[in-house]
Amino acid sequence: MRKHIKDSLEAVRTILIGMGITLRYCFARTVTVQYPDVPPTVKPRFRGFHWYEIERCSACGNCARACPVDCIYIEKSGPRKIEKETGISRGGAMTRYAIDYSKCMFCGLCTENCPTDCIHMGDLHDISGFTRRDTVVEFTELARQGLQSPLPLWMKKKRLPAWAQALKEAWQRRAEPRREEMLKALTEQPVAKPPPAAKPAAEPPAKPAPPPAE
């Protein structure tokens, strides 16, 4: 009987706590973000549309295998290998790296499984379009344009809010130092072979032992 009464009181207590939080928000002041004049409010760990460093990608396929909805497509002309000294992948050309955002659930598993840390969750919140085809982002085509992130339709306008213009310029500055390597990733690049190891010097023949004394 005591346990039953204790459980009932605990249930009432937890309900009152939950209702107290609800009532506190009911009477809180409503704040409307004046988007698009001001940027949307996002958290520091926000998972937005990806940005991709094609020059670092080894096309191993780990991201595609980790994707629970199979929305990542990778094609290459040959094996690629990352150089430890530069962090750049060489070898076959990247012929396609695409993500279908009509299927993507923004879980972030692709970024966690990438061995070269070349795919990242970005800070872009919107990529609306007019057709389903517009939701498939071809990152190899973006690399030809010197871009790492897709530009939504609204960001291609000439007159942008100050925050959107600053964000666009920040993306361009991030990609600018790697533009040459991005273009190289789209072509065949021979992998530099390490020089052959020097052969050890031959040891002189051992002198014959002197004959035993009589």
Q: Give the chain's end-to-end CA distance (angstroms, integer).
A: 112
C-alpha R_g of the chain: 29
Question: Which three-class secondary structure state does DSSP give residue 144?
Answer: helix
CA 6 to chain centroid: 51
The CATH code of the domain at 48-184 is 3.30.70.20
CB contact at 8 A, 149 and 142? yes
Residue 48 pairs with which residues in a beta bridge? 122
**Residue 71 · residue 101 · CB < 8 Å:** yes
Q: What are phi and psi of 207, to 5 degrees?
A: -70, 140
One digit per residue, the tens of pLDDT, for the chain of length 214 reads 788 888 899 999 999 999 999 998 888 888 888 888 888 888 888 999 999 999 999 999 999 999 999 999 999 999 999 988 888 999 999 999 999 999 999 999 999 999 999 999 998 888 888 888 999 999 999 999 999 999 888 888 888 999 999 999 999 999 999 999 999 999 998 776 666 666 666 666 666 666 666 5
Instruction: Kindly list the domain boundaries of the chain, sorted by start residue.
Output: 1-30, 48-184
Closest by CA to 121, choosing from 134, 97, 104, 141, is 104
